[in-house]
Homo-oligomer: A and B are copies of this chain.
Amino acid sequence: MFQAFKNYISDHIQVSDDDFDFIESFAVFRKLRKKQYLLQQGDVCRYNCFIAKGLMRTYSVDDKGTEHIIRFAMENWWISDRESLATAQPTKFNIDAIEDSELILFEKNDFEQICEKIPAFSKMIADILNRGFIVNQNRIHEAISSTAEERYQNFVKRYPGFALRVPQAMIASYLGIKPETLSRLRNPKTKS
């Protein structure tokens, strides 16, 4: 499982074998079955998680029991709740597996140690954060400026992988619309 992570790192930065050993010494491996939680509302998030295999989502559940998915993540993506991780406050989100998944976890302190010891790693992580900020910003822009249909089209174009692997109802949740509405966007009535 660690091999997938090694490949990922090597694709991004140059790391010595010693450094890999150093990183691996902190790695915590975890397999999750479909529907199992990585994090639950009310927990404090303690890990940065690399997805070696599978598909995850981050979502909240409101008082009416409706789920609101704020993020999907698959192989070679990182997942965590940055807010809970940074503040050590209980999270308002759940993270669970949409497919059987394999994760590599790094505890907060260990992760920071790796960043200190290996500047290239630190830079890579900073870069991911910067890119994540931009992605979120663009999503906000889309949310306030596009119709539901445009948002769906863009989602499919930008993340064809998710569009194929994720149930439609979850995509609707991600887009902020009801499953029925998404279904209607996809199957428009032929006019008159």
A→B interface (CB under 8 Å): 60, 62, 66, 68-71, 82-83, 86, 126, 129-134, 136-141, 143-145, 173-176
Contact = CB atoms under 8 A, between A and B. Distances in A.
Contacts of A60: 141, 145
A83 B137 CA distance: 9
A136 B140 CA distance: 8
A137 B137 contact: no
Contact of A144 (B126, B129, B131, B143): B143
A189 to B, nearest CB: 26
A126 B123 CA distance: 11
A12 to B, nearest CB: 16
Contact of A136 (B126, B131, B136, B145): B136
A123 to B, nearest CB: 11
Interface on chain A toward B: helix, strand, loop, or mixed SS? helix
* Shortest Cβ-Cβ A-B pairs, 8 listed: A144-B176, A136-B136, A68-B145, A143-B143, A83-B134, A133-B133, A70-B141, A68-B144
Given A82-B134, A133-B129, A134-B82, A140 B141 contact: no
14 contacts: A60-B141, A68-B141, A69-B144, A70-B140, A70-B141, A71-B137, A82-B130, A82-B133, A82-B137, A86-B130, A129-B133, A132-B133, A139-B140, A144-B173
**Most B CB within 10 A of own CB, among A134, A138, A175:** A134
A35 B16 CA distance: 53
